[in-house]
Structure 1
Amino acid sequence: MSDVPALKTYDIFISHAWKYNKGYYRLLSLLDGARLFQYANHSVPQEAPLFDTKTPAGDRKLKNALEKQIGSAKCLIVLSGMYVAHRKWLKLEMELAQKHGIPIIGVVPRGQQRVPLEVKQAAVTMVSWNTRSIVTAIRKRSL
């Protein structure tokens, strides 16, 4: 029998755009490689879309499904590339997190100087693109 305590599993939702999913997968790689860190990913990967959003009914279904998934997470991570300032889904995800009292962690991509004001205002913290700062923020800010 081991005296080592079990690691806490952090429930996270990572906001991302499928069109710009390289950052999403790089972030997953960082988190997967973090020492003594476990997480459950409540995000919606491109390989498993919830609904077709090309119809108003699909839009409504996706909004409801996102609310359920974000509501089960303990923090929302936003990759704050400049494209996010114009994405309706990111805005919705941040609104849903705020509605449920879920902290938002903004991650500034390497080499990026500017961050969308909406992300800065919604985030409880902004961190740089490295494993230590991201994992520390998740540990500190997750509910």
Structure 2
Amino acid sequence: MAKRLFISHSWEYSERYTSMVSLLNSRKYFDWVNYSVPVDKAFEGMTRAQLQEQLRNQIRPVNCVIIISGMWFNHSDWIQFEMDFANQIGKPVLGVRPRGAKKTPVAIEVGADKTVNWNTESIVDGIREIS
């Protein structure tokens, strides 16, 4: 059965998100459905409350929320919101350290159920383990 995943992202810094999608798509014997909103469907012109509700709607049906820790410093408010909501409704959170990163923000270490390095097998194994 395909895993339903939400990958935390920002369209201003989408290269890590795009890399994550490519990584998951290229993994043999791993079926998944992307519950993140693609760039061409971005929520422009919404209020903060409306965007929060859209994020909740994306996270509710998933098996796992993926947080790429390298985006933390630029988008910590939104990432914290996504992690808090996932934790509140019992959705597992996988933290992923970008290639070459030595440290992970404390909030991700605390909020994630598991944190792995940027490696196809580690990410897929982490998703399977916690979801």
Normalising by structure 1, we get a TM-score of 0.86
Report Cα offsets for 1:57-79 as digits up to 9, x if no partner.
x2111111111110111110000
What are the superposed Cα offsets for residues 22-72 of structure 1, whole Å, 9 maximum, x if unpaired? Answer: 01001111100101010011112222113424xxxx211111111111011
Cα pair 1:85 1:118 within 8 Å, conserved: no
Of 86, 110, 120, the match for 1:97: 86
Q: In the alignment, is the contact (CA less than 8 A) between 1:13 and 1:73 conserved in 2?
A: yes
Deviations 1:89-119 (A, max 9, x none): 1111111101110011000111111111101
The one of 43, 48, 51 equivalent to 2:41 is 48
Distance in 2, matches of 1:116 and 1:59, equals 24
SS in 2 for 1:134: helix
Between the two proteins, what is the percent identity of the paired residues? 35
In the alignment, structure 1 segments of 5+ residues that lack a partner are 1-7
Q: CA RMSD in A?
A: 1.2
> 4+ residue runs of structure 1 moved beyond 4 angstroms?
none
Based on CA coordinates, which of the two structures has the bigger radius of gyration?
Answer: 1
Partner Cα distance (1:73, 1:50) in 2: 19
Instruction: Looking at secondary structure, tell me which structure has more helix per residue.
Output: 2
Report SS of the residue matched to 1:47: helix
- Is the CA contact 1:106–1:126 (under 8 Å) kept in the aligned structure 2? yes
The correspondence for 2:72, drawn from 61, 84, 94, is 84
Query: How many correspondences in the alignment?
Result: 130
CA distance in 2, matches of 1:86, 1:29: 22
